[in-house]
């Protein structure tokens, strides 16, 4: 016992646990972004700073700014826990971090303010959380309430995407046009966003997509528009133009994967996988490596705990199919019944059903191939090879 006692006396008492950093102190740490003048103007106003960081995330495509926004928002809520605007922004950030069930709970807990027009965002955010969980009908109800309170670009854009998820392509295009018409060049980022979405929908349906160039005329380095243009350039064979666009987007999973398709030998999807677990898992399922495919199943199973939308479900069904798991036909047909028209999901469905329902699979693969830039070149080749196989 004596040596042990001497050892303890020599070492002394363990150091006290470190106090976790205070959010209000951390948020003051300089972290320059594209809206540096606005950040400085926000000063010590935590909520204003959080809003600036959210805008920086949208403008730059860098999700790190959402983390900075969360820190500032935590400070705002420490100072004023009941602040309704801070609580609304918290729901928005939960959605960005893919914590959709938490976002739904937080959205339902928002208190209605005295002026009805101020509360459309409560229902819009609730609809966002529901949509990402695959609860499309409930999302539609929330969006309808929101648009009844305050119609405009924000709600038209959301409803357009919901209609796309329902498979109502014409309805999606019509509603997206309303969103574009409601935009203003005095507030360029929202207008650039809805123009990009309009152009992408047009491209997927085989129509010209001048709206993407219009978005880039407003904001030349807008990541969403650069990525959409890159995909259209890649589909048309303009590899150099596509590469320039994808590099401008930054190190996202989808942009890195597209760079590899355009011939960039430095594109490393594994290196950016943590940024988008679902996108990374979808890519892993296409690899020849059995270990990667098994990891895809594991990642997508975890992802399904947070989001039960048709895209995630189809990706998991396909990943299980690639690992020779149990038959996925019933699940695939149930997902198709939601009306999903996403080209990659149609490709995955066609590949799964090729043996059991060859006629249905051919139709799905044909539809996927008609989406133009909706499939990457390797996916187009995979679809054609599956059609040609006996």
Question: Helices marked H in 110-252 — which ranges?
Answer: 120-132, 136-149, 153-166, 169-181, 188-204, 210-218, 223-236, 239-249
Instruction: Tell me, yes or no, whether 39 lies in a domain.
Output: no
User: Domain count of the chain?
Assistant: 1
Per-residue model confidence (pLDDT) at position 10: 39
Query: By C-alpha distance, which of 114, 117, 143, 116 is closest to 128?
Result: 143
**What is the C-alpha separation between 93 and 20, in angstroms, rounded?**
22
Instruction: Tell me, yes or no, whether 345 lies in a domain.
Output: yes
Per-residue model confidence (pLDDT) at position 18: 57
Per-residue model confidence (pLDDT) at position 207: 95
Per-residue model confidence (pLDDT) at position 330: 95
**What is the C-alpha separation between 322 and 290, in angstroms, rounded?**
9
Neighbours of 285 (CB within 10 A): 24
Q: Quick one: 240 exposed, middle or buried, by C-beta within 10 A (0-12, 13-18, 19+)?
A: exposed
Residue 151, both tokens: 């119609």
**What is the C-alpha separation between 72 and 78, in angstroms, rounded?**
10
Residue 299, both tokens: 């990642």
Per-residue model confidence (pLDDT) at position 201: 98
Per-residue model confidence (pLDDT) at position 17: 52
Residue 172, both tokens: 């999606």
Q: What residues contact 268, with CB distance under 8 A and at least 6 apart?
A: 256
Instruction: Tell me, yes or no, whether 235 lies in a domain.
Output: no
Instruction: Tell me, yes or no, whether 316 lies in a domain.
Output: yes
pLDDT tens-digit profile, the chain (390 residues): 334 333 333 344 455 555 566 778 787 777 788 888 988 888 889 999 999 999 998 888 888 899 999 999 999 999 999 899 999 999 999 999 999 999 999 999 885 554 444 589 999 999 999 999 999 999 999 999 999 999 999 999 999 999 999 999 999 999 999 999 999 999 999 999 999 999 999 999 999 999 999 999 999 999 999 999 999 999 999 999 999 999 999 999 999 999 999 999 999 999 999 989 999 999 999 999 999 999 999 999 999 999 999 999 999 999 999 998 778 999 999 999 999 999 999 999 999 999 999 999 999 999 999 999 999 999 999 999 998 887
**What is the C-alpha separation between 277 and 98, in angstroms, rounded?**
10
Instruction: Tell me, yes or no, whether 67 lies in a domain.
Output: no
The domain of 316 spans: 284-371
């Amino acid at each position: 016992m004596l040596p042990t006692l001497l050892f303890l006396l020599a070492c002394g008492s363990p150091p006290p646990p470190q106090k976790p950093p205070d959010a209000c102190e951390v948020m003051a740490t300089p972290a320059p972004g594209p809206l540096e003048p606005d950040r400085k103007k926000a000063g010590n106003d935590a909520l204003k700073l959080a809003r600036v960081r959210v805008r920086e995330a949208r403008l730059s495509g860098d999700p790190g700014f959402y983390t900075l926004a969360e820190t500032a928002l935590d400070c705002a809520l420490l100072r004023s826990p009941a602040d309704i605007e801070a609580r609304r922004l918290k729901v928005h950030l939960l959605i960005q971090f893919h914590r959709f069930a938490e976002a739904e709970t937080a959205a339902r807990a928002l208190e209605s303010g005295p002026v009805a027009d101020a509360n459309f965002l409560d229902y819009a955010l609730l609809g966002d959380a529901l949509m990402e969980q695959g609860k499309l009908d409930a999302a539609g109800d929330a969006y309808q309430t929101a648009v009844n309170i305050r119609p405009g670009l924000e709600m038209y854009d959301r409803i357009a995407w919901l209609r796309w998820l329902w498979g109502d392509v014409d309805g999606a295009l019509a509603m997206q046009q309303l969103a574009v018409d409601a935009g203003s060049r005095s507030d360029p980022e929202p207008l650039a966003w809805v123009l990009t979405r309009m152009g992408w929908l047009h491209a997927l349906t085989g129509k010209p997509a001048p709206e993407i160039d219009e978005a880039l005329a407003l904001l030349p380095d807008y990541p969403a528009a650069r990525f959409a243009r890159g995909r259209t350039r890649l589909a048309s064979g303009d590899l150099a133009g596509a590469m320039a666009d994808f590099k401008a987007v930054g190190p996202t999973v989808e942009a890195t994967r597209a760079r590899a398709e355009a011939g960039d030998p430095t594109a490393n999807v594994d290196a950016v996988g943590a940024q988008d677990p679902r996108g990374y898992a979808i890519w892993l399922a296409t690899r020849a490596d059995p270990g990667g495919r098994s990891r895809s199943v594991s990642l997508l199973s975890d992802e399904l705990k947070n989001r039960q939308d048709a895209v995630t479900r189809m990706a998991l069904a396909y990943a299980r199919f690639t690992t020779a798991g149990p038959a996925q036909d019933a699940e695939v047909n149930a997902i198709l019944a939601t009306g999903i028209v996403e080209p990659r999901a149609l490709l995955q469905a066609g590949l799964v059903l090729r043996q059991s329902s060859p006629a249905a699979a051919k139709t799905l693969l044909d539809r996927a191939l008609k989406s133009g830039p909706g499939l990457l070149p390797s996916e187009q080749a995979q679809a054609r090879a599956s059609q040609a196989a006996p």
